[in-house]
Amino acid sequence: MELSDQIAQYLVSGLSTGAIYALIGLGFAIIYNSTEIINFAQGELVMLGGMFALFFINFLHLPLPLAVLSAVASTTAAGVLFERLTIRPLKAATPLSLIIITIGGSILIRGIAMLVWGKDTHAIPAFSGTEPILIGTATILPQHLWIFALTLLAIAMNKLFFNYTITGKAMRACAVNKRAAGLVGIDVRKMVLYSFAISASLGSLAGIIVAPLTMTSYDVGIMLGLKGFCAAIIGGLSAGAGTVLGGLLLGVLESLGAGLISSGYKDAIAFIILLLILFIRPQGLFGKAETERV
Amino acid sequence: MRFLNSEILKFILLALFILILPHVAHEGYLLNVLVFVGIHSILALALNLLLGYAGQISLGHAGFFGLGAYISGILTATYSLNPWIAMLIAASVVTLLSFAVGFPVLKLKGHYLAMATLGLGVIIYIVFNEAVDYTGGPSGLSGIPNLSIGTFSFDTDIRNYYLIWTFALIAIALSLNLVHSRIGRALRAIHDSEVAARVMGVNARLMKVQIFALSAGLSAIAGSLYAHTMTFVSPASFGFNFSVELVTMVIIGGLASIYGSLLGAALLTVLPELLRAFQDYDIIVYGLLLIIMTMFMPGGLAKGFPQAASYLRTRFGKRSSPDA
Amino acid sequence: MLEVRKLTQRFGGITALEDVSFTARKGLITGVIGPNGAGKTTLFNVITGIYSQTSGSVHLDNADISRIPAEMLAARGLVRTFQNIELFGNMTVLENVMLGLHSRSSSGILSCMLKMPWHVKEEKYIRQQASEWLDFSGITDLSAQKAANLPFGKGRLLEIARAMAVHPSILLMDEPAAGLNNSETHELAVLIRKIRDKGVTVVMVEHDMELVMDICDRILVLNLGRMLAEGTPREIQENPAVVAAYLGEG
């Protein structure tokens, strides 16, 4: 295969994993914007999505669309439960205690998943076959197309929700100024809960659509979560285009790096990018610099 | 000074306890666990200086621990260097490295700092796995020699026990000295109000980086001790999970409490042994412990019992106590 | 002597300070007053290196300190207190004051860990000095208390003791009387005079006019980031522009 063909192939697979990272990253950003919490359990919700899908498809034999919807709903419920049981009861919340408590939550979710589904890797059938489709010189799997389509759909719905519904606008108001939002009668705590619900549903969708490609197990959440966070950081933790671009960029760079440099160090690429961004442009690649207030 | 004497007395009691313990718990298996409690104590202590005193989180300390272990292991197993010199080199390299990397890292705060240190730890972990020529990759590095003095080799559990606890006691004594000095006060001041600390003349940035380097260097010494005690290292011991476990030890033992670090390390080392029947499911217990401690006992075990008692009183009591 | 020359501070499109110049003369108490939003706290934040100004300069005894970071100023004898008292809540009252001696001690991490003789000596000196400043502020009996547990008025006294432990030549106080009752304010006035009598130059932002007129030697009036007037308390009280600014505020 020619180098250019190879690169085309890397781009396809990079963009599809990038889309996954984007969805997870959006989850991070939405929660961060309404609560200033980085939810370390975000990756576990991604894992739960895949695991619930596995359960509904392989054990209950639900038809695919119903199984996907049920898996998203179940994970969303888990996300809401998580917020209710850990974040909300926390009285004197400091950044440190929030980090610790979400890490605790992530360990707990992972442990329970291990208890329920065991330590094996599980496969979920592809949504519509595994017959590769030839586009130019690169081949693309039907599952890739599903990933692109569903990611686009999720991002579009997200956009519509935040821009055109009262609840979405209220959540944006909370992101700008929580106190002021509270003063004009927005129930801030409810908005926090919603942000966990939306993040969980986006994350679970990511976990479901990627599972047929990469398989899933109780511990896939750590890496996926961290990559998603990296996407969000590249995007300056914006709950919009920045993070989506960040995810795609990360996916492509990772895929190119793995293919052209070394597959063993593939996972390191994301973290090196993460560190560089944090050191040099903590406001993200596309964000504006913000003066630090005392 | 009375205060000083009670500190010294506490320390002597601990040292005596450690001295006598093997005579009570001389069973091989138990002794082995106690060796690990010692190594974990040094690590928890190191992290507590950073996390508990200066208030700066690190989710990458397993990486520094691993660096110490691998540098020491490679220098001795592959290049046949004297283990003591290897330990010295490991500690110095890690201290210098973390000092350099500390400047950009500790400029970050809160969640960003957590993620940056996490990233650092994961990168180190990946290197352990991928630099197969040096580290042996995922299957590990074996043939690391024991430490020895002359012909006396630390090659049995009991000898390792005394070796490691000697290091641990020295680390405890030095840390106690440090936290009761102007540096210790400055660290706690940064934790409470960085702006006020700076106005009082504390160079917060430099101080944070220094304590980060000290903490990493101490972890590297623990790593070196680990390598020479086990005579085998593999990446699995230095992953993200272990970093989280270290944070758990510090939180459970008590932030900004030297003896608390020991308590946390002991509990989290012994607990998995007790939970052995549940095999890998002990991680559920860690998760629960972290959540419960953060919610109900933020001061950890060292300060937690009075706190928890007062919480329960105000929650379920007749609300008679006015302080809250 | 503290000299501020043509200081301007902008945040984005907002001008918080514009062309402010004044001199706090040695051994005097200078009050900075003005309606809310006049830029008083911003002025302090710029002088103490917490913000870096858009233009202009700050001089301490004729040395330009405009670009010197906050943590280096204590050693040069400039220190401040905060509007909402910034104590180290988890430390004892004594330890808080001991921290004030940070810039006047120098033991590094290693000598502290190894308890080197010079460090032990230094520590003894720090402890002894700190207790003297506790005494000076009249809070010796509280020395073993956790700072977070102090009532607000005592916290204010502690903050002053801590600042004095730095041995400042200039002490900036941001609304020292805020949150104090009458008798506490009276106590504070006595303390501030005591500080001035030690030769320390005091600059204070304050809303309590009675206190300002009572103890200040010079007064600077800011309004909307600009200088409105400067002079003795009597001159300020008779200045029609000042009266207008205050009445205008309602």
The domain ranges of chain C are 2-86+161-249
- Measured in angstroms, the CA of B219 and the nearest CA of chain C are apart by 16
pLDDT digits (tens, 9 = 90+) for B250-265: 988 988 999 999 999 9
Contacting residues of A for C51, CB less than 8 Å apart? 294
pLDDT reading at A285 higher than 70: yes
Mean pLDDT, chain B, integer: 90
DSSP states of B117-168:
HHHHHHHHHHHHHH-HHHH-GGG-EE-PPPPEETTEE--SHHHHHHHHHHHH
- Are the C-beta atoms of residues B50 and B212 closer than 8 Å to each other? yes
Burial of A39 (0-12, 13-18, 19+ CB in 10 A): buried
Banded pLDDT at B5 (limits 50, 70, 90): confident
* Residue of A147, A167, A159 lying closest to A209 (CA atoms): A147
Interface test with A, best of C9, C46, C51, C82 (most A CBs within 10 A): C51
Number of domains present in the structure of chain A: 1
Domain-located, residue B129: yes
Dihedrals φ, ψ of A41, to 5°?
-90, 5
Domain-located, residue A285: no
Distance from C-alpha of B257 to C-alpha of C91, rounded to nearest angstrom: 13
Domain, as residue range, for A194: 3-128+137-277
CB atoms within 10 A of CB A92: 6
Residue B180 tokens, joined: 């009761």
Chains that touch C (3 or more CB pairs under 8 A): A, B
- Measured in angstroms, the CA of B296 and the nearest CA of chain A are apart by 9
* Residue of C48, C6, C57, C196 lying closest to A294 (CA atoms): C48
Provide the chain C residues 149-168 that lie in CB contact (below 8 A) with chain B.
162-163, 166
Q: Look at residue A292 in the predicted model and tell me its pLDDT.
A: 38
- Are the C-beta atoms of residues B223 and B67 closer than 8 Å to each other? yes
- Measured in angstroms, the CA of A255 and the nearest CA of chain B are apart by 17
Q: Look at residue A37 in the predicted model and tell me its pLDDT.
A: 86
* Residue of B239, B242, B248 lying closest to B288 (CA atoms): B248
Angle at A74 between CA A69 and CA A78, to 5 degrees: 145
| Residue C108 forms contact with B (CB below 8 Å) | yes
| Residue A289 forms contact with C (CB below 8 Å) | no
Banded pLDDT at B271 (limits 50, 70, 90): confident
What interhelical angle do B61-77 and B83-105 show, nearest 10? 150
* Residue at token pair 């919490």: A37
* Residue at token pair 């991002």: A155
Distance from C-alpha of C76 to C-alpha of B160, rounded to nearest angstrom: 52
Distance of CA A194 to the CA centre of its chain: 16
Angle at A76 between CA A73 and CA A81, to 5 degrees: 125
Residue B250 tokens, joined: 């510090």
| Residue B116 forms contact with A (CB below 8 Å) | yes
- Are the C-beta atoms of residues C150 and C142 closer than 8 Å to each other? yes
pLDDT digits (tens, 9 = 90+) for B126-161: 999 999 999 999 999 999 999 999 999 999 999 999
Domain-located, residue A270: yes
User: Which amino acid would we find at residue A4?
Assistant: S
Domain-located, residue B292: no
Q: Look at residue C250 in the predicted model and tell me its pLDDT.
A: 44
| Residues in contact with A156: Cβ distance below 8 Å, sequence separation at least 6, in sequence order | none
| Residue A184 forms contact with C (CB below 8 Å) | no
Closest residue on chain B to C76 (Cα): B201
Judge: C100–B184 Cβ closer than 8 Å, yes or no.
no
pLDDT reading at B101 higher than 80: yes
Domain-located, residue B94: yes
User: Which amino acid would we find at residue B131?
Assistant: A
Q: C217 by DSSP, 3-state: which?
A: coil
pLDDT reading at A130 higher than 90: no
Distance from C-alpha of A253 to C-alpha of A11, rounded to nearest angstrom: 9
Q: C168 by DSSP, 3-state: which?
A: coil
Residue A114 tokens, joined: 């291990």
Average confidence (pLDDT) over B91-106: 97
Provide the chain C residues 22-51 that lie in CB contact (below 8 A) with chain A.
45, 50-51
Q: C106 by DSSP, 3-state: which?
A: coil
* Residue of C165, C189, C164, C167 lying closest to C176 (CA atoms): C189
Strands (E), C165-217: 170-174, 201-205
Dihedrals φ, ψ of B132, to 5°?
-55, -35
pLDDT reading at B212 higher than 90: yes
Judge: B108–A282 Cβ closer than 8 Å, yes or no.
yes
| Residue A294 forms contact with C (CB below 8 Å) | yes
Distance from C-alpha of C86 to C-alpha of A217, rounded to nearest angstrom: 49
User: What sign for the dihedral angle of Cα A220, A226, A230, A231?
Assistant: positive
* Residue of C94, C104, C100, C170 lying closest to C135 (CA atoms): C94
Banded pLDDT at A96 (limits 50, 70, 90): confident
CATH number of the domain that residue A151 is part of: 1.10.3470
Higher pLDDT, C233 or B2: C233
Q: Which fold is adopted by the domain C2-86+161-249? A: Rossmann fold (3.40.50)
Burial of A136 (0-12, 13-18, 19+ CB in 10 A): exposed
Dihedrals φ, ψ of C32, to 5°?
-115, 115
Residue B209 tokens, joined: 């980086």
Q: Look at residue B323 in the predicted model and tell me its pLDDT.
A: 39
Contacting residues of A for B291, CB less than 8 Å apart? 86, 101, 104-105, 108
Q: Which residue numbers in chain C have pLDDT < 50? A: 250
Contacting residues of C for A294, CB less than 8 Å apart? 45, 50-51
Banded pLDDT at B282 (limits 50, 70, 90): confident
pLDDT reading at B320 higher than 70: no
pLDDT reading at B6 higher than 90: no
Number of domains present in the structure of chain B: 1
| Residue B307 forms contact with A (CB below 8 Å) | no
Average confidence (pLDDT) over B171-197: 96
Average confidence (pLDDT) over A2-13: 86
What interhelical angle do A95-117 and B282-296 show, nearest 10? 150
pLDDT above 70 covers a percentage of chain B that reads: 91
- Are the C-beta atoms of residues A274 and A227 closer than 8 Å to each other? no
Domain, as residue range, for B8: 2-243
Higher pLDDT, A40 or A283: A40
Banded pLDDT at A287 (limits 50, 70, 90): low
Q: How many Cα atoms sit within 13 Å of C160 on the Cβ side?
A: 29
How many residues are given for chain A? 294
Domain-located, residue B114: yes
| Residue C9 forms contact with A (CB below 8 Å) | no
User: What is the value of ipTM here, to two decimals?
Assistant: 0.91
Distance from C-alpha of B165 to C-alpha of B177, rounded to nearest angstrom: 18
| Residues in contact with B50: Cβ distance below 8 Å, sequence separation at least 6, in sequence order | B56, B57, B58, B211, B212, B215
| Residue C246 forms contact with A (CB below 8 Å) | no
Q: Look at residue A290 in the predicted model and tell me its pLDDT.
A: 47
pLDDT reading at B162 higher than 90: yes
* Residue of B178, B180, B183 lying closest to B204 (CA atoms): B183
Paired residues of C57 in beta bridges: C5
Greatest extent of chain A over all pairs of C-alpha atoms, in Å: 63
Q: Look at residue B309 in the predicted model and tell me its pLDDT.
A: 63
- Are the C-beta atoms of residues A64 and A127 closer than 8 Å to each other? yes
Residue B5 tokens, joined: 């004497």
* Residue of C16, C5, C52, C56 lying closest to C222 (CA atoms): C16
Indicate the range of B162-176, B182-196, B274-288, C47-61 predicted with least confidence: B274-288
Max mean pLDDT among A157-171, A176-190, A257-271, B49-63 falls in B49-63
- Are the C-beta atoms of residues A265 and B126 closer than 8 Å to each other? yes
pLDDT digits (tens, 9 = 90+) for B40-68: 999 999 999 999 999 999 999 999 999 99
Higher pLDDT, A5 or A150: A150
Q: Look at residue B4 in the predicted model and tell me its pLDDT.
A: 57
Mean pLDDT, chain A, integer: 89
Contacting residues of B for A274, CB less than 8 Å apart? 115-116, 119
Interface test with B, best of C112, C114, C131 (most B CBs within 10 A): C112
Continuous H helices in chain A: 3-35, 42-54, 64-82, 95-117, 142-164, 166-176, 178-183, 188-214, 221-234, 241-260, 266-280
Residue A236 tokens, joined: 């300056």
Distance from C-alpha of A194 to C-alpha of B292, rounded to nearest angstrom: 24
Distance from C-alpha of C58 to C-alpha of C65, rounded to nearest angstrom: 6
* Residue at token pair 């700072």: C147
